[in-house]
């Protein structure tokens, strides 16, 4: 049976108590969090950035080895210039503040997306963070910044074509192997905060069999309790990967 290979090991493998192996999060609702407090949107993004550490620690306590956070989409470039600049600056500050601490906690940082459109100093700071933490074997944290699922698939197909692939060579395995982070297993659980129930171009290829969990909680308010609820909900869900349910 080769089917399960494509979607990672059966749920629960290698992680305690049937917890997901890879949790991916769309951190949405910063703007509304700020508006509720009559603050500028950027204050919401700041609170949201500070919340990442809280949620990561909660996920670590569950023994989850892979975490992906969606911080900036390819579509987010279309926001007002001041907001885009603010988000880029916040990423720079977060890297400066957190990378060493993450390294000390044995976290390996990976970047998901493109670095070519980022300011050079930020691309270099990301590169330095990846380099510093590349031998760590604790939690793997994938940071989605300038990430788009459609762009990732287009990039993979372009690479295949550039390598002269024939139609027969355009296979699921060939495309999978050309995703940005082919060594990272597909997400078992995708959490989206902020109440909207959509993917917004997140991990389109990898989400084929992910469990989706939506919560109205705005990202800066999503803490330990929110993580526990999401993981509990995941544990209760039977995953079938298209197969018939187990005979009873
Ligand atoms: C998520 O919060 C952060 C990014 C998309 C960068 P939003 O800024 O989308 O917050 P809402 O959805 O407007 O509340
Ligand atoms: C998704 O949120 C992207 C990130 C959280 C980085 P958006 O706020 O950009 O998504 P839409 O516009 O509501 O679909
Ligand atoms: Mg939003």
Residue 7, pLDDT > 90, answer: no
Count of C-beta atoms within a 10 Å radius of residue 159: 14
Q: State the distance from the centre of ligand 1 to the C-alpha of 152, rounded, in angstroms.
A: 21
Per-residue pLDDT tens digits for 76-103: 999 999 999 999 999 999 999 999 999 9
Residue 142 · residue 196 · CB < 8 Å = no
Mean model confidence pLDDT for the chain: 94
Residue 127 backbone class (left: φ over 0; alpha: ψ -120 to 50; beta: rest):
alpha
CB atoms < 10 A from the CB of 10, how many? 10
| Mutation probe of ligand 1 site: the residue of 30, 76, 89, 143 with most atoms within 8 A of C-beta | 30
Q: Is 201 a catalytic residue?
A: no
Question: What CA–CA distance (Å, rounded) separates 227 from 218?
Answer: 13
CA distance 235 to 21: 12
**Is residue 230 within a helix (H) or strand (E), and if so which, with residue range?**
helix 224-235
pLDDT at 246: 73
The model's pLDDT over 13-63, given as tens digits with 9 standing for 90+, comes to 568 789 999 999 999 999 999 999 999 999 999 999 999 999 999 999 999
Does residue 48 contact residue 27 with C-beta atoms inside 8 Å?
yes
What pLDDT does 15 receive? 80
- The catalytic position among 30, 51, 76, 201 is 76
Interval 236-243 mean pLDDT: 95
Q: Ligand 1 test: best mutation among 75, 90, 194, 217, most atoms within 8 Å of CB?
A: 194
For residue 192, give the H/E element and its range.
strand 189-192
User: What's the whole-number mean pLDDT along residues 174-199?
Assistant: 98
What pLDDT score was predicted for residue 247? 64
Query: Ligand 1: which residue has its CA nearest to atom 8?
Result: 31
Name the burial class of residue 115, with classes exposed (0-12), middle (13-18) and buried (19+) by CB atoms within 10 angstroms of its CB. middle
| Ligand 2 center from residue 141 Cα (angstroms) | 20
136 is annotated as an active-site residue: no
């Amino acid at each position: 049976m080769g089917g399960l290979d494509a979607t990672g090991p059966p749920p629960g493998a290698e992680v305690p108590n049937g917890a997901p192996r890879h949790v991916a999060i769309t951190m949405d609702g910063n703007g509304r969090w700020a508006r509720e407090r009559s603050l500028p949107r950027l204050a919401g993004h700041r609170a949201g950035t500070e919340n990442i550490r809280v949620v990561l620690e909660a996920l670590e306590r569950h023994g989850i080895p892979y975490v992906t956070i969606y911080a900036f989409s390819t579509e987010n470039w279309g926001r007002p210039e001041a907001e885009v600049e603010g988000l880029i600056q916040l990423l720079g500050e977060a890297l400066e503040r957190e990378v060493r601490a993450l390294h000390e906690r044995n976290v390996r940082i990976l970047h998901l997306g493109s670095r070519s459109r980022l300011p050079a100093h930020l691309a270099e700071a990301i590169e330095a963070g990846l380099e510093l933490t590349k031998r760590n074997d604790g939690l793997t944290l994938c940071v989605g910044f300038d990430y788009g699922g459609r762009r990732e698939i287009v990039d993979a197909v372009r690479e295949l074509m550039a390598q002269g692939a024939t139609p027969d060579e355009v296979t699921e395995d060939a495309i999978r192997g050309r995703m940005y982070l082919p060594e990272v297993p597909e997400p078992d659980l995708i959490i989206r905060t902020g109440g909207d129930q959509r993917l917004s171009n997140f991990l389109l290829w990898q989400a084929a069999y992910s469990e989706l969990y939506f919560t109205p909680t705005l990202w800066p308010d999503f803490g330990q309790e929110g993580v526990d609820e999401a993981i509990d909900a995941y544990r209760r869900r039977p995953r079938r990967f298209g197969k018939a349910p187990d005979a009873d």
